Amino acid sequence: MTEKTKEQLVNELAEARDRIAELETSEAELKQKEQELRRLGLAIEQTAEGVATADLEGNIQFTNEAWAAMHGYTVEEILGQHLSMFHTEEQLKNEVTPFNEQTLAKGQNKGELGHVRKDGTTFPTRMTVTVVKDDAGNPLGLMATARDITEQVERQAALRESEQRFRGLYESSPLGIILNDYETGDYQEANDAFLEMVGYTLDELNQLSYWDLTPEKYSDQEDAQIRSMEESGHYGPYEKEYIHKDGTVFPVVLNGVVTTDNKGRKLIWSTVEDISERKRAEEERERLQQEVIEAQKQALQELSTPIIPIMDRIIVMPLVGSVDTMRARDIMRRLLAGIREHRAKVVILDITGVPIVDSGVADHLNKTVQAARLKGARTIVTGISDAVAETIVDLGIDWSGIETLSDLQTGLVVALNSLNVKLSKA
């Protein structure tokens, strides 16, 4: 044995120590790496995202709990199997194959893929598949993350259905529906019903000035509606008019609500109803109503103010009911016409049926008597009850110019006398 010199031993010791130091450092590094790996492992294990790794042929090397649970398996059941176990034949053909082609071509791919569970039910996932490479760029295997997006898909479907439903409502609505920018008043949307109503296209509408569509006389009302929106967030029912492209004006009623879009811009949704028909019907109804009222009034008047020619040149006009100014005018008119028609020289105006005789009525009667005189007829007022007589005197009404008698019989005798006619028994 060659005896090593002391120097050699010291060197060997130094080398050994260095070696130990290196090993210790390596060990520490390894431990650290180990810890990192362990943490990574825990993260992957515990995440709710499904994570799976496979070799380039698709043989499963690892899946986390989430992935297994998502598909209704335990991790043990999956190991050793192929990734294709998670898809139906159809899915493989239609979705997975093209997806994989993309993955291999681009190195990573994202998308929605259909999966199948252990119990045979299918569900949609959102997947990201990555081709894992080493530092040199050599592909080592595949890593896939998956999320069950059943809920999202359902929500989207529901949203779409709802959107369709409302779009259907919007498009087929007989009411005009418009969306305007709150600040500028520009038309964002207008359904066909509205466009047809006004005769313009959406573009044309946005070229018009405000008063091209709404008659200027509504400017005060427009301000009021804006105020209402500021205060309560809605307006209407607001009746106004629109000017059609062809110049005709038609009545409409509007209702609106302020809303904001997802960018925070204020908008107004309004419904617009063409009420031409309704207004026409209303006017017609009112006209008819007026006609009926007029006819009734006429009938009533005729009923209560007849003229009875009782003898040649003598007419009797019995008044029944209260006498207001309008009726008084009518009575006078009828009387003058009656005098003319019957060429009456004496009028017996019987007021037995007039319940109240006040200064107003007395005045009317006075005028009637004067008018009759100007037509050459003498008027005798009969039928003054004791109550009426009291009222007249108490009110200080001056009837000195009017001939009055108590009843019709006496009035008739006087009338005949004035015509120089005597009645005598046969």
Residues that bind other proteins (CB under 8 A): 329, 332-333, 336-337, 339-340, 343, 345, 367, 370-371, 373-377, 419-424, 426
Distance of alpha carbon 268 from alpha carbon 225, whole angstroms = 12
The smaller minimum CB distance to other proteins, of residues 17 and 340, is found at 340
Run of H or E residues at 319:
strand 314-320
Q: Which is nearer to other proteins, 234 or 367 (CB)?
A: 367
**Degrees to nearest 5, angle at CA 237 with 232 and 242:** 120
Contact in structure between 125 and 112 (CB atoms under 8 Å): yes
Please say whether the beta carbons of 179 and 267 come within 8 A: yes
Smallest distance from other proteins to CB 413, Å: 14
Specify the residue, 105 or 374, whose C-beta has the smaller distance to other proteins: 374
Q: Which residue has the tokens 């997802």?
A: 262
CA distance 257 to 204: 24
| E-strand stretches of 161-200 | 176-181, 187-190
- Distance set, CA 317 to CA 60, 352, 376 (Å): 119, 11, 16
In the complex, what is the shortest distance from the CB of residue 406 to other proteins, in angstroms, rounded to a whole number?
A: 25
CA 150 to centroid of chain Cα atoms:
35
Q: Given strand 308-311, what is the order of strands in its sheet?
A: 308-311, 314-320, 346-353, 378-382, 403-405
Residue 359 beta carbon to other proteins: minimum distance, rounded to whole angstroms: 16
Least spacing, CB of residue 322 vs other proteins, in Å? 21
Taking the least distance from each CB to other proteins, the nearer of 152 and 417 is 417
To other proteins, the closest distance from the beta carbon of 327 in angstroms equals 14
Structure tokens at 116: 């199948």
Q: Which is nearer to other proteins, 282 or 341 (CB)?
A: 341
Give min distance, CB of 414 to other proteins, in A: 15
CB of 336 to other proteins, least distance (A): 4
- Name the residue nearer to other proteins (CB basis): 52 or 361: 361
Least distance to other proteins from the beta carbon of 304, Å? 20
> Whole-angstrom Cα distance, residue 28 to residue 36?
12
Would you say how long the chain is, in residues?
426
Token pair belonging to 294 = 């007029």
Q: Nearer to other proteins by C-beta: 138 or 420?
A: 420
By C-beta, is 256 or 338 nearer to other proteins? 338
Measured from the CB atom, the residue of 27 and 398 that comes closer to other proteins is 398
Q: Could you give the C-alpha distances from 172 to 190, 202, 365, in angstroms and in order?
A: 12, 17, 68
- Least Cβ distance, residue 411 to other proteins (angstroms): 19
On whether the CB atoms of residues 71 and 118 are closer than 8 A, the answer is yes
Distance, in Å, from the CA atom of 315 to the CA atom of 346, rounded to the nearest integer, reads: 6
